[in-house]
Structure 1
Amino acid sequence: MGGTRHGPAVRRRKLGEELRGLRLRAGLTSRDAARLVGWHQSKVSRIETGRSGVTHADVVRLLDAYGVGDRRLRTVLEALAGAADGGGTGWWRAYRDVIPPQYRDFISLEAEACAARTLETSVIPGLVQTPDYARAVTRAALEGLPEATVDALVEVRMARQEVLRGAVPLRLDAVLDEAVLRRQVGGARVMGAQLRTLAEVAELPHVRLQVLPFTMGGYVGLSGSFVIFSFPNISDLDVVVLDHMTRSLYLERSEDLEAYGAAFRTMQAHALTPEESLVLIAGIAAGA
């Protein structure tokens, strides 16, 4: 399984940091580690800095060399190797000339996750956008793009939605600011269709949608949208993604995950129930 790896950079960096820490705790230099596993020192350095991917077999060799016997730790790091190694093999590779590496990282995490909790304060979540709404959002957010590029980005958005329709679909918990429902993205016709689609998706058994009404006033998540991805069996792989104008920020520290998880639970507790939210959505759609 040689060759260059194109997996999620966030996974490579985390794995590299963990492996470097284990090497240091074992009292080894990078030259020592390379000699023990039969590699060039530069390979160890590239892995530890996240500049190079690493296979499952490579991680096992390093953990053995460092004398790591903790089964849970080994399981987590081996799972990280799989996540960092697999990000380049998905359908999104066909769009690598259109979507930047960080977006590919996001899509890969989304595809691997078993659940996502998302707060949206400005737009409908990408996983439930209609093509017309996605096109309007893309044109507004990225002015001046050639029409062919816009088309490709909309195709990517639609392809991402397959995670909600698979044999084992992604569990989606979404909390939306009421402003998301009332902002006329693309005009009344586009918005009306989008709200009706949103209501249909909200009826799926693996989707829970709640709205934070204007009457609530300020709330803990008002400063910005975020997504929390959770992964099967191992909570250590969970990650918070914050979207900014020019980049995405990935948070993986346990204290960050706890803080954002608690904030999301608070917002769910104060939001309208799923049933009340559907009533509100239907009312706004009727007037769109």
Structure 2
Amino acid sequence: MATRRRRDLAAASSGRRLGNALKRAREEANKTQDEAAEQIDAAASKVSRLELGQSGIKLTDLTLLLDFYGVKGEQAEVMRELARAGRQRGRWTGYLGAIPDWFRTYVDLEADASELRWYQPEVVPGILQTESYIRAMNIKAHSRVSDDAMEQQLKVRIGRQAIIKQANAPLLNFILSESAIRRNIGDSAVMREQLLHLAEIAELPNVELQVLPFDAQTFGAAWVGFTIMRFDHDAASDVVYLEDYTDAAYLDRPDGVQAYGALWNRLQAAARGQVESRRMILHLASAS
């Protein structure tokens, strides 16, 4: 049941995103829902459900609408991918053995998000890890994993990092505990490279990176890492991801999402500013 719930959650996310994109395309083309419905031989209520993300769409109907709206090229292909994803997730099917079932939904949601907020209390988030750091972590944590499995895990993690600098990259917000940047993973060369990478990423226009220092006021739940994912900048679509050693939870009920949103705000207020945080990271890198 948990696996099915996760897949439904990922599909719903793609449906909402595609619906928003279809609505924008129709409005930019100055077309009405009635006119769009005629193109696919359906009622206007069908177009309304599509735009609300409440109904799937056949690729043939999507092609008709895209032609009618004048949507072409990369934008059209993105919308086709969202339609496919709404029916069957899994852009990492070639690496299923390297991705636990409970993590696959997260990988899909992460790739679809327009904004992500990470709080990481112990280690550098996977999406920011260098190859050397990843290898050092895998050797420590998975000493019995085969070399092939380890290489697959590495490819997946490095592949996920493409969203940081892609066209129309999402907004990426990170709060790292001081523990995450001081904890030694590998040798000093590995840590120096990792810290310099963090400092470089922190300068990107779509990235905000803060450090929560040891001497900051902390909170009872500050030891719990979490990720908040937002889609099309719509707070109502937020999903909170929580992970433990063998499983994960995905929260999308308003009360749970609001609680973690409030925790994020408190942690962000207690953390050092972006400039000061980057200066701290560079100081640690120079001392490595």
Any conservation in 1 of the 2:124–2:180 contact (CA below 8 Å)? Answer: yes
Q: Aligned residue for 1:10?
A: 6
Decide which of 85, 88, 91 is 2:87's aligned counterpart. 85
Q: Aligned residue for 1:278?
A: 278
2:98 aligned counterpart, secondary structure: coil
Rounded Cα–Cα distance in structure 2 between residues aligned with 1:179 and 1:243: 18
Q: Aligned residue for 1:176?
A: 176
Asked if 1:251 corresponds to 2:228, the answer is: no
1:180 aligned counterpart, secondary structure: helix
What are the equivalent positions in structure 2 for 1:188-227 lying under 5 Å apart? Answer: 188-227=188-227
* Residue 87 of structure 1: how far off its partner (Å): 1.8
Rounded Cα–Cα distance in structure 2 between residues aligned with 1:277 and 1:101: 35
Matched to 2:265, the amino acid is R
Any conservation in 1 of the 2:177–2:211 contact (CA below 8 Å)? Answer: yes
* Residue 147 of structure 1: how far off its partner (Å): 1.4
Any gaps of 5 or more consecutive residues in structure 2? 13-42, 57-81
Any conservation in 2 of the 1:121–1:180 contact (CA below 8 Å)? Answer: yes
Instruction: For residues 224-249 of structure 1, give each alpha carbon's deviation from its aligned partner in whole angstroms, at most 9, with x where no partner exists.
Output: 10000100154333210001010011
Any conservation in 2 of the 1:201–1:207 contact (CA below 8 Å)? Answer: yes
Any conservation in 2 of the 1:220–1:263 contact (CA below 8 Å)? Answer: no
2:97 aligned counterpart, secondary structure: coil
Instruction: For residues 109-155 of structure 1, give each alpha carbon's deviation from its aligned partner in whole angstroms, at most 9, with x where no partner exists.
Output: 00011110010011111111100101112222333101121111011
CA change 1:13–1:279 in 2 (3 A) is closer
| TM, length-normalised to structure 1 | 0.73
Any conservation in 2 of the 1:121–1:224 contact (CA below 8 Å)? Answer: yes
| TM, length-normalised to structure 2 | 0.73
1:237 aligned counterpart, secondary structure: strand
Q: Aligned residue for 1:127?
A: 127
Rounded Cα–Cα distance in structure 1 between residues aligned with 2:170 and 2:225: 19
CA change 1:94–1:257 in 2 (3 A) is same
CA change 1:86–1:110 in 2 (3 A) is farther
CA change 1:11–1:272 in 2 (3 A) is same
Q: Aligned residue for 1:235?
A: 235
Deviates more, 1:237-246 or 1:133-142: 133-142
Identity %: 33
Matched to 1:200, the amino acid is E
Rounded Cα–Cα distance in structure 2 between residues aligned with 1:180 and 1:113: 24
Instruction: For residues 181-201 of structure 1, give each alpha carbon's deviation from its aligned partner in whole angstroms, at most 9, with x where no partner exists.
Output: 100101111001000000000
Rounded Cα–Cα distance in structure 2 between residues aligned with 1:163 and 1:15: 19
Rounded Cα–Cα distance in structure 1 between residues aligned with 2:224 and 2:218: 12
Rounded Cα–Cα distance in structure 1 between residues aligned with 2:49 and 2:254: 16
Provide the aligned length of Structure 1 versus Structure 2: 230
Deviates more, 1:138-147 or 1:261-270: 138-147
Matched to 2:207, the amino acid is V
2:222 aligned counterpart, secondary structure: coil
Q: Aligned residue for 1:269?
A: 269
Any conservation in 2 of the 1:119–1:176 contact (CA below 8 Å)? Answer: yes
Rounded Cα–Cα distance in structure 1 between residues aligned with 2:95 and 2:226: 24
Q: Aligned residue for 2:52?
A: 75
Rounded Cα–Cα distance in structure 1 between residues aligned with 2:275 and 2:258: 28
* Residue 10 of structure 1: how far off its partner (Å): 1.6
Any conservation in 1 of the 2:172–2:206 contact (CA below 8 Å)? Answer: yes
* Residue 14 of structure 1: how far off its partner (Å): 8.7
How much is the aligned-residue C-alpha RMSD, in angstroms? 2.7
Rounded Cα–Cα distance in structure 2 between residues aligned with 1:125 and 1:227: 10
Matched to 1:162, the amino acid is A
1:77 aligned counterpart, secondary structure: coil
Rounded Cα–Cα distance in structure 2 between residues aligned with 1:174 and 1:164: 12
Deviates more, 1:195-204 or 1:138-147: 138-147
Any conservation in 1 of the 2:10–2:105 contact (CA below 8 Å)? Answer: no
CA change 1:8–1:143 in 2 (3 A) is farther
2:209 aligned counterpart, secondary structure: strand
1:134 aligned counterpart, secondary structure: helix
Any conservation in 2 of the 1:76–1:237 contact (CA below 8 Å)? Answer: no
